[in-house]
Chain A
């Protein structure tokens, strides 16, 4: 809805309006500046050892599954929902991938990956469908589903195991042309450009934002609210599947119980990434950077010889303080 007004305003102006960009994307830009600062801190913490392309690759590998989970949570929260079973869905895809891909050729494993993306979409659609059909609050439905999907993951694999072909792992851990371009970052950029952006700037994308900002008004404007909400969960399921596939690529194996950590951190990442929990506000690009910020903090601690568990404390404090500051800014704007 706002995009129509903005488009109208943009037509009347010439050149680039930096102020408008700063106010509209301020939070996202802020997160990327934070990410840059954290990478600088990482380089400083690493000294006297030089920062090489290998370290850059390590950073990307460490944050890849969480980055996808954050994208998933972002789309769902923008549509006005929340999914507390996301991390467990990532684990389900991760264990299926690892158990099917073991001792398979690269081509077969790619086929399996495509199949799992479809399964991810279906799992997301089941979550969204249950939320819409039952009328039970999304938190409760997805909390209950986190038990269900967690059970499914344990049925498939009881202890960490499985495997995947080296070529497949290279999709997450390798490099792309230059050694300074990690393959994982390219995969994220591709998914953003080829999957999310086309949806975002067409009817379904606008519908997701509209439903998230005001369900009743969206309904009155002719948006099919139910289908849109299920769609958001399905897109979330796709990103969760990408997260699971990324986890298989970066760790090489499947782990059935990594779920809770990813769920909670995905919520943290979207909040840090500028998505409003009330829905309808924010984007997917910010949370990606926020996910890497959240994974960088503990690794910087390790290099400094500090107990990495302080990372958890700092992550928690970071989230709370950022949201408090955000609230204060909102209060000031309103006056």
Chain B
């Protein structure tokens, strides 16, 4: 497709036009990849495709999609947040530890954890201009270190996952096919998609990612945009962590850590540029689902953990490469 796309024809031929059409709509390509993966699953294990299975895939995708949602917002500003997993773990762990105080309080505390971490990240990146990689890396180390040290003091009463969270994470609606987490995921996703497209904040987010200097000269208070973005990212991660602990049903100190790299991968596969200003949440959703299906395919193939990792990494790289060559704009 690259060769066709770089063809210098004055009027695009039908093939080139089709190529351009696809490049402008990465969702089509991602959907094709997703369908191919699902077909591969069906071939490996006949009877794989069922309404229940689809529900289970969405259920496992939800926590990752929340982490990746925050990551998408941050990456649109040309940043990266390496503290999402630590924040999610802290929120989930403290929520489970405080469950005896009542579900509402516990959930509020989880969101508060996200708010605090996000504020510190935002102040560092937005006001002190610390490189986002360093700021969030340092923050991840602070959060997980502090969580480990004070693990005991965060637990009052018997630590448990509140039944409301458990039900939200793994419960189903209408004949076991529609996971209840969609009740939370769909509105949040709609809010992000519409917000990025139509709200002033959303448009500024793209502008800041594209050219922060031009934004500053145009009178945008860049630091405010960054501050809000990092706070939103950490709160979304906290919610993702709560959902994940609902799926797993036991909190530990490394709970969400394995999701750090997939959260970045989902965004990249979804077509959001790591240099900011290009992309959106719709691609990330598909990216997260693709990663979950890929994981389940590798499990079906009975691959060992080692082989699984190698294939997983290669496919992420391959998809990113396809993106880079087909769009020339990553």
Contacts and interface: CB of A to CB of B under 8 A. Distances in A.
A89 interface: no
A316 B130 CA distance: 13
B138 A143 contact: no
Interface size class for chain B? 35 or more
B148 interface: yes
A137 B307 contact: no
Interface stretch (B3-11, B50-58, B311-319): B311-319
Nearest to A268: B137
Contacts of B139: 316, 320
Contact of A137 (B129, B148, B274): B274
Contacts of B142: 312-313, 316-317, 320
A87 to B, nearest CB: 12
A313 B261 contact: no
Nearest to A135: B324
B225 interface: no
A147 B310 contact: yes
B325 A152 contact: no
Interface in A146-198: 146-148, 150-155, 158
Nearest to A134: B321
A324 interface: yes
B247 to A, nearest CB: 22
A134 B317 contact: yes
B330 to A, nearest CB: 6
Interface string A295-335: 00000000000010111110111011001100110000000
Contacts of B144: 312
A107 interface: no
A68 to B, nearest CB: 20
> Helix, strand, loop or mixed for chain A's interface?
helix
Contact of A309 (B82, B148, B306): B148
Nearest to A311: B145
Contacts of A141: 317, 320
Contact of B261 (A143, A320, A323): A143
Contacts of A136: 317, 320-321, 323-324, 330
A271 interface: yes
Contacts of B261: 143, 146-147
B220 to A, nearest CB: 20
Interface centre among A151, A152, A158 (most CB of B within 10 A): A151
B326 to A, nearest CB: 11
Given A140-B320, A147-B309, A148-B314, A313 B131 contact: no
A268 B138 contact: yes
B80 A323 contact: no
Given A130-B317, A312-B141, A312-B145, A143 B265 contact: yes
A310 B149 contact: yes
B134 interface: yes
Interface in B111-130: 124, 128-130
A145 interface: yes
B310 A151 contact: yes
Interface string A259-286: 0000010011001000001000000000
A139 interface: yes
B256 interface: no
Contacts of B140: 264, 316
B146 interface: yes
Contacts of B324: 134-136
Contacts of A1: none
B134 A154 contact: no
B137 A267 contact: yes
Contacts of B22: none
B41 interface: no
Nearest to B130: A323
Q: Which of A143, A146, A158, A277 is packed against the most chain B CB atoms within 10 Å?
A: A143
B141 A144 contact: no
A267 B316 contact: no
Interface of B: 80, 82, 124, 128-131, 133-135, 137-142, 144-146, 148-149, 261, 264-265, 268, 274-275, 304-314, 316-317, 320-321, 323-325, 328, 330
Given A312-B145, A316-B141, 18 more contacts: A135-B328, A135-B330, A136-B323, A140-B264, A140-B317, A147-B310, A147-B316, A151-B313, A154-B309, A309-B148, A312-B141, A312-B142, A312-B148, A315-B141, A316-B138, A316-B139, A319-B134, A327-B129
